[in-house]
Amino acid sequence: MFKVFAKGFLGLAVALVMNLPTMSAAQDASNDTLISVENPWARASIGMSRPGGAYLTIRNDGKDTVSLVGLRAEISGMASVHETRTNSDGVSSMTPAEDIAIPAGGTVALEPGGYHAMLMQLQSPLVEGETFPLTLLFSDGTELEVNVPILGVGARGPEG
């Protein structure tokens, strides 16, 4: 339902600029990415003083690996991907995530207990029932804007 497609921006630009004689080289450089996002959702925030969290699944239908390298959102003064890890003693901690590789034909989920979009410095509260735009930045230059529905504060997944 919330499926958004983006043709690799850089790939497209390179393919348009270059002509047939250099086509194979252009293809090598292009990555030919086809990245889509499924089931984005965020939890309503309680005020604006605490970081918000958002989740989604990224699918890479291209033929090369691409990496999620960053986030941008007007609603957040500082948006970044963080990773929660829980060890065998049941201790959970959170660290900023490295670039996240999405293999060709594969998916990577940002979901509770794993990767999440951490939305710091909220510019306005995340209000249940509303949506906000979140831009995903990829290693091949693709910028993919997703409209993220805001669910209740007690949501446990994209279904609520």
User: Are 9 and 21 contacting, i.e. CB atoms less than 8 angstroms apart?
Assistant: no
User: Are 40 and 2 contacting, i.e. CB atoms less than 8 angstroms apart?
Assistant: yes
Q: How far apart are CA 71 and CA 90, in angstroms?
A: 29
Which residue's CB is nearer to other proteins, number 35 or number 150? 150
Closest of 145, 144, 141 to residue 13, by C-alpha:
141
Residue 117 pairs with which residues in a beta bridge?
A: 54, 81
Length of the chain: 160
Q: Which stretch binds other proteins (CB under 8 A): 23-31, 42-50, 60-68, 137-145?
A: 42-50
Which residue's CB is nearer to other proteins, number 36 or number 57? 57
Q: Which of 16, 20, 47, 159 binds other proteins (CB under 8 A)?
A: 47
Minimum CB separation from other proteins for residue 116, in Å? 5
> Applying CB under 8 A, does 149 fall inside the site for other proteins?
no
**Residues found near other proteins in the complex (CB under 8 A):** 43, 46-47, 50-53, 78, 80, 82, 84, 86, 88-96, 112-113, 116, 118-120, 153-156
